[in-house]
Amino acid sequence: MPQVKVSTLNLFNRMGDWDSRFPLVIEQLRELAPDVIGLQEVDLGVDQGVQICREINLRLGDQPHYRIKHATTPGIRANFFAIGTIARIDCVAHEILDLMTFDRIAQRLVYQVGSSRFALVNTHLHHPVEAAEERAHQAAYLLEWIDRQEKLPMVVLGDFNAYAGEKTVSIMKARFRSAYETVHGKEPEKTWPTPVNTYDNSPAGTLDYIYVSPEFRVVDAGLAFDRSSPDNADLFPSDHLGLYAVLEW
């Protein structure tokens, strides 16, 4: 029975003192050791995704190395709001979807594990608190796209910017299970913010999710990238906490 560990993290691009956050990302990524991690707010101006891959690969020695597949938004802030998926397992297909509103996108990747394949979608939906209907429209559009693809066991993860009671979450949970909720009986208290974000006073809550199709058994799931620096309690890897899930199918 194949098994895979997946994760998600909004990187907060280069904001919030990236030079200090970068070592925390690398150390906690090394400890987590996911097979695949979907990243949001990847800064292409500093080649942030490649920077992460190079640094973590230096620490892996002869172990399988990570490689990144990028997708960038069509808007003027493309450098700061790209997404990227890093994996140390074989990627056999990669497609990008323009969600058609607010310069948001998704990427669908197919991975090979032994003789089995699964698909993973990484996305980042529209962010304003008051934009719940807009996010729901993007989620529905995303699912229509997924339905046109080859039918494979499916993981859909990322920063949905949707609080647990929103329509977007209901739309996703009508089709998928939340990995974290499956293990713990409820969503985490929050995945946003951490003290890294000093300017946004939106309500704290869970905005990030890992959704899985019925083919998967959720072996484990939890928070990731959730430890502050030992030297600074306000310094975290990002302004978001990450998530991970261990899946079998």
Contacts of range 135-139, beta carbons closer than 8 Å, 24 or more positions apart:
135/160, 135/161, 135/162, 135/166, 135/167, 135/168, 136/166, 136/167, 136/168, 136/171, 137/101, 138/99, 138/101, 138/102, 138/104, 138/168, 139/168, 139/171, 139/172
Per-residue pLDDT of the chain (249 residues; tens, 9 = 90+): 899 999 999 999 999 999 999 999 999 999 999 999 999 999 999 999 999 999 999 999 888 999 999 999 888 888 889 999 999 999 999 999 999 999 999 999 999 999 999 999 999 999 999 999 999 999 999 999 999 999 999 999 999 999 999 999 999 999 999 999 999 999 999 999 999 999 999 999 999 999 999 999 999 999 999 999 999 999 999 999 999 999 999
Q: What are phi and psi of 156, to 5 degrees?
A: -125, 120
Q: What is the pLDDT of residue 43?
A: 96
Q: What is the pLDDT of residue 158?
A: 98
Cis peptide before 153 (omega within 30 of 0): no
Q: What is the pLDDT of residue 61?
A: 86
CA distance readout (Å), 69 to 83, 133, 183, 229: 9, 29, 29, 29
Rounded to an integer, what distance in angstroms lies between the CA atom of residue 199 and that of residue 225?
21
Structural domains in the chain plus CATH codes: 3-248 (3.60.10.10)
Report the chain's terminal Cα–Cα distance, integer Å. Answer: 6
Give the three-class secondary structure for 110. strand
Backbone Cα Rg of the chain: 17
Check: pTM over 0.75? Answer yes or no: yes
Q: What is the DSSP-derived secondary structure letter of residue 91?
A: E
CA distance readout (Å), 54 to 14, 21, 134, 209: 17, 16, 36, 27
Q: Cβ neighbours of residue 137 under 8 Å, at least 6 residues apart?
A: 101
Q: What is the pLDDT of residue 53?
A: 97
